[in-house]
Chain A
Amino acid sequence: MSIEVKNIEKQFGQFKALDNVSLSFPTGELVALLGPSGCGKTTLLRIIAGLENPDGGVVHFHGEDATHVHVRQRQVGFVFQHYALFRHMTVFDNVAFGLTVRPRGKRPGKKEIAERVHELLRLVQLDWLADRYPDQLSGGQRQRIALARALAVEPKVLLLDEPFWCTRCQSAQRSAPLVASSSRRAAYHFNFCYSRPGRGDGSCRPDRGVEQRQN
């Protein structure tokens, strides 16, 4: 699915986070959004995800205006910077969450959910951790679970907020190519990840880097 943002504006109090930003991402591309910290990368991602409303401008998904589509309906997978795994749920329940909250008619059966969850856990190579709680995982493991959780609902777009911020952990390094390959294998049309500049995460080669400048 292609994404186009046009003339996006966002202001927090006195601070102008995004000033007339326009970008377009064709279907199937893996894009990294680059720029110094504080230049509005996270804000732009949150606007695309529907977690934040822009003060001005529009977001188009596949040519259709999605600016006012609710985050629930956008079918956007979002991996939060600190993962936001539900602490009171096991890894299995975390990944299954998106499937179990579907309305009764569209909700897959118990067995089907279990199969799907284990398939995703195998994809991120963490099937053996299904019964653990997030507090019992390392940073890299958590990130991969967060990825699996986001993929479970079969999003059209996958957004990763600072996926490699914890570059010191080995596991995160390993998960970098995984992000690329797993999402491709799962046949998502479009991927959108972003990272900070100057970090050695060359393992995740974006198809294209988009530089975002400080206003």
Chain B
Amino acid sequence: MRSLRKPSVIPGFGLSLGFAAFYASLIVFIPLAALFAKAFTLTWAQFWDTVLHPQALASYRLSLGAALIGASINLVFGFIVAWVLVRYNFFGKKIVDALVDLPFALPTAVAGIALTTLYAPQGWIGQWLTPLGIKVAYAPLGVVVALTFIGLPFVVRTVQPVLEELEKEIEEAAASLGANRWHTFRRILFPALLPALLTGFALSFARAVGEYGSVVFISGNMPFKTEITPLLIVTKLEQYNYAGAAALAVVLLVFSFILLLLINLLQHWSNKRAGG
């Protein structure tokens, strides 16, 4: 039998891998396994009853729908932000660039109360929307706003490096062949950026589906109307319905894993594009 490791003179293999594997198992692997074990203490019928309950279905609809809309908003505006940051020069560009990461750095609870205050009927932004009949805070639209905020950096940060790597000569070649700017963009640039755009979209979406902190403040948390799936899990937990919470968590996890797989495939595709 061949050994686990290819021989090397560099020391510390056993220690570093041993500790890393031990720690990862303890913190991530065993607890996640416990979750699946708990969910399957339910019978199949109970499991399906829980995860297909109308209240659960309504929460998936809201979570996925709002995440999808938020990610789409980020796809469009994130692309514009990345484009502007890479291609144009303007005053304060470095600060703007640094600020893009704010949603990664700002705790979600802080974002949640800030957005709620802004979009409440008397808030800075809400007061202009209320007369128009638009309700943001304590409505599904509020969930969209929160999920847009927390997913904002992803598209920018995946598109930006790819855009920087693109060779200007390709565009110049297109221009010299008589293509106008719009044609060059649509036929040359856009296809090259598509994998990165989709990766950013998927990352933003994945983050939004599981988001909790920023949403609970702005959504109003009404069952069937503005209750996201993570909140429903917390509710079940507070009712000491551990197995029910675990069942919903499994649904959320499986969904996240599928997304993670998709993102890895996208990145693989993206790297291959960039490499070729």
Within 8 A of B (CB), among A54-73: 70-71
A46 to chain B, nearest CB (A): 9
Interface size class of B (residues with CB under 8 A): under 10
> In the bound complex, how far is the Cα of B10 from the Cα of A50, in angstroms?
11
> In the bound complex, how far is the Cα of B7 from the Cα of A52, in angstroms?
8
Question: Which single residue of chain B is at the shortest CB-CB distance from A70?
Answer: B9
Residue A51 at the chain B interface, CB threshold 8 Å: yes
Q: B1-25, CB under 8 A of A: which get 1 and which 0?
A: 0000001010000000000000000
A171 to chain B, nearest CB (A): 31
- Could you say which residues of chain B place their CB within 8 Å of the CB of A53? 7, 9
> In the bound complex, how far is the Cα of B234 from the Cα of A13, in angstroms?
51
Within 8 A of A (CB), among B169-219: none
A84 to chain B, nearest CB (A): 13
A176 to chain B, nearest CB (A): 29
A16 to chain B, nearest CB (A): 16
- Could you say which residues of chain A place their CB within 8 Å of the CB of B9? 50-53, 70-71
- Could you say which residues of chain A place their CB within 8 Å of the CB of B7? 53
> In the bound complex, how far is the Cα of B7 from the Cα of A53, in angstroms?
7
> In the bound complex, how far is the Cα of B7 from the Cα of A71, in angstroms?
13
B4 to chain A, nearest CB (A): 16
B208 to chain A, nearest CB (A): 41
A-B contact pairs, 7 of them (CB 8 A): A50-B9, A51-B9, A52-B9, A53-B7, A53-B9, A70-B9, A71-B9
Task: Please give the residue numbers on chain B whose beta carbons come within 8 Å of chain A beta carbons, in ascending order.
Answer: 7, 9
Task: Please give the residue numbers on chain A whose beta carbons come within 8 Å of chain B beta carbons, in ascending order.
Answer: 50-53, 70-71
Closest 5 CB pairs of A and B: A53-B7, A71-B9, A51-B9, A50-B9, A70-B9
